[in-house]
Amino acid sequence: MPDRSPTLAAQARLSHDLLQAVRRDAPLVQCLTNFVSMNYAANALLAIGASPAMVHAAEEAPEFARLSGAVVINIGTLSAPWLDSMLLTAGSAGRAGTPWVLDPVAHHATAFRRDAVARLLDLRPAVIRGNASEIIALAGGQSAGKGVDARDAVAQAEESARALAAARQTVVAVTGETDYVTDGSRALRITGGSPWMPRVTATGCALTAVVGAFAAVSRDDPYAAAVAALSCFGIAGASAHDQAQGPGSYAWRFLDALAALDAASLVRASPLRA
C-alpha cells in the first residue's frame, strides 16, 4: 500500500464515514437538472444510497427545497421558466440552511447563461462542480471551451478554482482526468475514473447530483462532501472500466460499481493525492 500523509489518510477515513452516512440516512436530493441527465442522475443517486427528487416547477420547487437534504441546480437545458424556478429554489434553500450545489453547464456560451450563473452565484452555492473550461471562465479567465465540452486541462484550472473558491467562499470541484477540489485554502486531487466517462451522457451531471447527496450528510464541511463524492466516482469509475467494452456497457456497469462500492475501499484504495 502506498504511503500517504496523515492529512490524506484522515480525509480518506472521513470519506468512508460520509459514504456510510449516505447509505444509512438515504438523504433526499432535489435536482433541478437538465432533461438529458434526469434519468442517469437519479439512478446514480439511488446506486450510491440517496433518494432523488426531480422537482423543478416554480410552483413547488422552492417549498420542496425546505424538505430536502440538499438541492442540485444544473443549467444544461436552461429556459426562462426554469431559471425563475432555480433562483427561487436556491434562495429558499439558503434561507432554510439547505446546502445547494451548482453545475454551471456551458455558462460561458451565451449571454443568457452568463447572466443566469451570475445571479445564481450571488445566492451562495455550497459547492460548484464543473469542467476545467467552465471553471476558468467562471473565475473570469479565458477558456478554450466550446459548448459543454472542456478544451482545457484540469491543471490549467487549478488557480482559477482556488481564486473562485476564495472569492465566493464556496467549494469548487474541477473534474477531468484527475479531479481537483478546493475551498480556497485546502486542496486535493482525486485520481481514478475511466476514459469512457466523457463518452457517456450525463456522467458529470450525475456526479454533481452525488455531490449533493454527500453535502446533505456533511452540511458543516462541503469540502469533505465534494472530496468523498469524487472519490466514490473515481473508484467506481475505474472498477467499471475494467469490465466495459465501450460506452454502452460502461454506463450500466458504472451504476453497478457505485452500488457495490465498499466504504472501506475509500481508505484501502484511496484515490486522493496532494
**Helix (H, G, I), strand (E, B), or coil: what is residue 251?**
helix
Q: How far apart, in Å, are the Cα atoms of 148 and each of 49, 131, 133, 263?
A: 28, 9, 9, 32
To the nearest whole number, what is the mean pLDDT of the chain? 94
Domain map of the chain by residue range?
A: 8-273
The CATH number corresponding to 8-273 among 3.30.2130.30, 3.20.20.80, 2.40.50.140, 3.40.1190.20 equals 3.40.1190.20
**Whole-structure pTM value:** 0.94
Residue 146's pLDDT is what? 52
* 217-238 residue pLDDT tens: 999 999 999 999 999 999 999 9
What's the confidence (pLDDT) of residue 213? 98
| pLDDT surpasses 50 at 93 | yes
61-79: pLDDT as tens digits = 999 999 999 999 999 999 9
Tell me the three cell numbers of residue 6: 496523515
User: Is 1 part of any known ligand binding site?
Assistant: no
Residue 129 in marked binding region? yes
